[in-house]
Amino acid sequence: MKKLKKIPLMLLLIVMISSLGGCSKTVSEKPKEQIKKEDIKETEVTTKPTSGSISDDLYRYEILLNGVAYSLPTSFSTFEKNGWVGKDFGSDKLDPNQYTIRTLQNGEQTIIVKMANLDINVSPIPKCYVAGVTVEPDSKNQGPTVSIAKGITIASTYDEVIAAYGKPSNEYKGGTINKLTYKSGSYSSYDISLDTKTNKVYSIEVQNIIPPTKTQTKPVSTELPTVVKNYKAPSSIGKDLFSFQVKYGGNYYKLPAPITEFEKNGWVLQSNPDEVIPAKSGVVGVELRKSNQVLRTQIENYSDKAEPLKHSFVTYIEYYNNGAQIPLELPKGISEKSSIDEVIAAYGQPTKIDESASFKYYIYGKVFSEVVFVTNKGKIEKIEVNYSPKNLD
């Protein structure tokens, strides 16, 4: 199998690449980042602001804004209660494990925030979490007051920062700005920037893009999602290789195809059918069995809500001499019984040819949208059909 998608996480996430993966054009096209799940830990979420004081423990990721304490990540409503408005949220939504950079305004004050969807369903931005905050004075010095652990704030000195937190995880020295980074994880860190002329703090950025524990226990619906109900199996293979219509194990499918469609045709889902798959997310290594043949496949949940594995879509099938020996027929009559010359006569020259010590790979299409013929001494050993579009047609 040639692809491991996301995840995006991945925290997949969404996508400008600073993360967690664009260009900004309109409000609805602002960059989104994908969070990598293997790099995160769970934490408790704070939903009620407390005024006046924060911990001296830097890695509790607490911040004072205008005298109000916040612990990141926290719900946007926590900021909203204290007068902060998301002027550029629009009607945008985020997939699970994505974040995007936006601005919050409070009167004349503006801060940059990282809005993160740390839930298992697609969510509108106002329902997401503030998981990062950047504060720096504007030209009119109208930024909010800000303070982090041990009282470090705008205009604190380099020596004061070092005295408070010790040696940074990383120190960058530039022409006009020096930056001290303190971090406890890939998405949990502080960037403290100092003006090289004054040697004083110019801006403070804190992020803690960590999913709250409570979002992992939300129940999922047992009702078949609409995207699965809307699937219609084709009645033929057709003539276009990139229609991803196939005859597999004696039945017609158009990838991506629901697991339920495979089950209807005699397949058994051997992986845990009730495993919760976040919205717009995928999993590899899922096992389906037909008779005594086992297909290790990859699946995608195309619903806007978290769904059990059994309501997801198969995006990869194969015929393999040393694996799933399931008869596979492609457009124009090509199958595992065809020669590679017949493949080329049917589809033309491949997009790419790779070679290893024992095998030759004839690749048609591109990553996540491809058909691969693997040969050994000219004989087809394996056919891979892989199609996992971002959205269903």
Q: What are the pLDDT tens digits along the chain (393 aa)?
A: 333 233 333 333 333 323 333 332 222 335 566 665 444 444 444 433 344 689 999 999 999 999 999 999 999 999 999 999 998 999 999 999 899 999 999 998 999 999 999 988 999 999 999 999 999 876 565 679 999 999 999 999 999 999 999 999 999 999 999 999 999 888 899 999 999 999 999 999 999 998 765 544 456 778 999 999 999 999 999 899 999 999 999 999 999 999 999 999 999 999 999 999 999 999 999 999 998 898 999 999 999 999 999 999 999 999 999 888 999 999 999 999 999 999 999 999 999 999 999 999 999 999 999 999 999 988 999 999 999 999 997
Q: Is 260 helix (H, G, I), strand (E, B) or coil?
A: helix
What is the reported pLDDT for 143?
A: 77
Yes or no: say if 294 and 270 are a contact pair by the CB < 8 Å rule: yes
Model pLDDT for residues 231-246, shown as the tens digit of each residue? 999 999 989 999 999 9
Angle at 168 between CA 167 and CA 169, to 5 degrees: 125
What is the reported pLDDT for 67?
A: 93
Structure tokens at 149: 């652990």
CA separation, residue 117 to residues 128, 149, 175 (Å):
5, 26, 36
What is the reported pLDDT for 87?
A: 86
What is the reported pLDDT for 211?
A: 78
In our burial notation (b when 16+ CB lie closer than 10 A, e otherwise), range 246-269 reads bbbbebbbbbbbbbbbbeebebeb
Task: Tell me the C-alpha distance between 297 and 294, whole Å.
Answer: 9
What is the reported pLDDT for 33?
A: 65
Task: Tell me the C-alpha distance between 386 and 383, whole Å.
Answer: 10
What is the reported pLDDT for 7?
A: 31
Model pLDDT for residues 174-183, shown as the tens digit of each residue? 999 999 999 9
The pTM of the whole model exceeds 0.85: no
Yes or no: say if 52 and 115 are a contact pair by the CB < 8 Å rule: no
Residue 205 CB partners (closer than 8 Å, separation 6+): 132, 133, 134, 135, 190, 191, 192, 193
Q: Which residues pair with 43 in a beta bridge?
A: 212
Closest listed residue to residue 133, CA positions, set 89, 73, 195: 73
Yes or no: say if 198 and 285 are a contact pair by the CB < 8 Å rule: no
